[in-house]
Structure 1
Amino acid sequence: MSRHDLQPKADKPEVVRATVGWDRPLQTFFAQVFIRTEDEPDEGEALIWIGTEPGELPTGDAALAVVAPFVDVPANLAEELTADMRETVGIKDGLQQVAAKRSLFGSIH
C-alpha cells in the first residue's frame, strides 16, 4: 500500500488532512478527505473515503480528481501513484488476505 498526504488548500481551513494512495490487496487507488468537527477538531472526521471496494478507483488520476477541490496536488503525483501500483505487480496475497477477501467479497479477486 502506498500513502501520500496532501496539503489542504489555503481557502479550505475546515480540511484537517487528505490522503491518496494505492491499495494492492483491493487493486484500487483510494482518496480520503478529513474535515474538522466539534468532536474531532484535530484528527477530523471522514468527509470522503473512496477506494474501499475492489477496483473502485482504477487510476491515480481518478483518486486525485476526488481530492483536488480540497488540496494542492503536486504536479508529479499521478505518475508517483502509477509507479506505486506498478511496484506491486506480481505480488500475491498472503493467507490472511485471501481469507479476508473470501469473507468480505466471496472471492479472492
Structure 2
Amino acid sequence: MSRHNLHPKAEIADVISVTIGWDRPLQTFFAQVFFRTEAEAEEGEPLIWHGTAPGELPTAEAAIAIVAPFADIPTDLAERLTTEMRTTIGVKDSDHQATAKRRIFGSIH
C-alpha cells in the first residue's frame, strides 16, 4: 500500500487532511478527505472516502480528481501513484489476505 498526505487548500478551513494512495490487496487507488466536525475537531472525520471496494478507482487520475478540490496536487503525483501500483504487479496475496477477501467479497480478486 502506498499513502500520500497532501496539503489541504488554505481557503478550505474545515479540511484537516487529505490522503491518497494505492491499495494492492483491493487493487484500487483510494482518496480520503478529513473534515473538522464537532465530534472530531482535531483529527477530523473522513467524510469523503473512495477506494474501499475492489477496483473502485482503477486509475491514479480518478483518485486525484476526488481530492483535487480540497488539496494542492503535486505535478508528479499521478506518475508516482501509477509507479507504486505497477511495482505491485505480480505480488500475491498472503493466505490471510486471500481468506479475508473470500469472506468479505466472495473471491480473491
TM-score (norm 2): 0.98
Deviations 1:71-90 (A, max 9, x none): 00000000000011011011
**1:105 lines up with 2:105 in the alignment:** yes
Q: How does 1:55-66 map to 2 (within 5 A)?
A: 55-66=55-66
Aligned residue in 1 for 2:47: 47
Aligned residue in 1 for 2:32: 32
Matches of 2:4 and 2:39, distance apart in 1? 25
Unmatched runs of 5 consecutive residues or more in structure 2: none
- How many residues align? The count is 109
Percent of paired sites with the same residue: 65
SS class of match (1:43) = coil
State the one-letter code of the partner of 1:9.
Answer: K
TM-score (norm 1): 0.98
Unmatched runs of 5 consecutive residues or more in structure 1: none
State the one-letter code of the partner of 2:43.
Answer: E
Runs of 4+ more than 3 Å apart: none
Matches of 1:75 and 1:56, distance apart in 2? 23
